[in-house]
């Protein structure tokens, strides 16, 4: 693998690489603050329609604020990663541990880490924290769903109808290219399927003993405030809940300085 480096600010350097998996290559981007503090890096896990590019400036801001390396990757089928050769199965959230995270953890030699997952990426972060109890030093969820709530399904159904309008799929094509239709189907068809109705995070979180921060927007259209409460209650270590008054589904985009500051305070004592 060859890394391509470029300086994106006076304090943070970004580089990208690709990591091979049995089903295709994953695109990975890393933001390294200068000087680095030598603490566990933060690994970002994106949402159902997300990608590295859709994190926008947040990873750079987070690296600068925390002094930690920030690592984000496109799941298989998303962004700049290779196309996914199959449709998602109902266990795709748990399966991301071995399908995406483990190859990256091994290829990059990460060691200890902090996880930060947005929406379904928050569920993946919970599953990963449970699978790596010795290496996961802290878990942060943002707008994560702890089970399949009617509010979530209604939001997805509404989004599906909007994407069916002429030209709307082009919004996804900007980030996912010719994989855009697969990305939309992977979200809508999987979440609205009967087998996925049994999805829950309680079993995984009962295996999580590291500090947990659950961030959630008060007005999140894809999940009520029961989700951060569940994440806090089900996890076994010290936990904190941060409710963003008037916030929606993407707090890190709506209020980046507040979210970055809150995460920085939460991680201040984490090695």
Q: How far apart are CA 50 and CA 30, in angstroms?
A: 17
Domain that includes residue 97, residue range: 4-266
Number of domains in the chain: 1
Tell me, what CATH number does 169's domain have?
3.40.50.1820
pLDDT for residue 176 = 98
**97 found inside a domain:** yes
Q: Which of 99-112 are b and which e, b meaning 16 or more Cβ less than 10 Å from the residue's Cβ?
A: bbbebbbebbebee
**190 found inside a domain:** yes
**48 found inside a domain:** yes
Predicted TM-score of the model (pTM): 0.95
- pLDDT, tens digit only, all 271 positions of the chain: 444 433 344 489 999 999 999 999 999 999 999 887 889 999 999 999 999 999 999 999 999 999 999 999 999 999 999 999 999 999 999 999 999 999 999 999 999 999 999 999 999 999 999 999 999 999 999 999 999 999 999 999 999 999 999 999 999 999 999 999 999 999 999 999 999 999 999 999 999 999 999 999 999 999 999 999 999 999 999 999 999 999 999 999 999 999 999 999 999 999 9
Q: How far apart are CA 201 and CA 4, in angstroms?
A: 37
**271 found inside a domain:** no
pLDDT for residue 1 = 40
Q: How far apart are CA 247 and CA 271, in angstroms?
A: 30
Measured between alpha carbons, how far is residue 48 from residues 1, 53, 91 in Å? Answer: 27, 14, 14
pLDDT for residue 4 = 42
Nearest to 54 by CA among 152, 223, 144, 176: 176
**144 found inside a domain:** yes
- The token pair at 36 is 């680095």
pLDDT for residue 35 = 82
Q: How far apart are CA 26 and CA 80, in angstroms?
A: 8
**163 found inside a domain:** yes
């Amino acid at each position: 693998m060859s890394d391509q480096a470029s300086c994106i600010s006076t304090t943070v350097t970004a580089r990208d690489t690709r990591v091979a998996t049995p089903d295709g290559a994953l695109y990975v981007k890393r933001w390294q603050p200068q000087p680095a503090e030598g603490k566990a890096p933060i690994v970002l896990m994106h949402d159902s329609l997300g990608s590295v590019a859709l994190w926008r400036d947040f990873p750079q801001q987070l690296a600068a604020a925390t002094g930690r390396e920030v690592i984000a990757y496109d799941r298989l089928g998303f962004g700049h990663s290779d196309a996914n050769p199959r449709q998602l199965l109902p266990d795709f959230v748990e399966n991301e541990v071995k399908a995406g995270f483990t190859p990256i953890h091994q290829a990059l030699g990460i060691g200890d880490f902090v996880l930060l997952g947005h929406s379904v990426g928050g569920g993946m972060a919970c599953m990963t924290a449970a699978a790596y109890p010795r290496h996961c030093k802290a878990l942060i969820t943002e707008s994560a769903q702890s089970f399949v709530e009617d509010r979530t399904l209604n939001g997805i159904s509404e989004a599906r109808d909007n994407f069916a309008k002429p030209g709307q799929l082009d919004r996804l094509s900007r980030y996912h290219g010719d994989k855009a239709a697969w990305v939309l189907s992977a979200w809508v068809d999987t979440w609205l399927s009967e087998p996925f109705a049994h999805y829950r995070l309680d079993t995984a979180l009962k295996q999580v003993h590291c500090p947990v921060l659950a961030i959630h927007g008060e007005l999140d259209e894809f999940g009520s405030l029961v989700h951060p409460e569940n994440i806090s209650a089900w996890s076994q270590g010290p936990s904190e809940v941060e409710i963003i008054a008037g916030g929606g589904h993407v707090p890190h985009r709506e209020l980046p300085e507040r979210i970055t500051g809150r995460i920085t305070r939460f991680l201040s004592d984490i090695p």
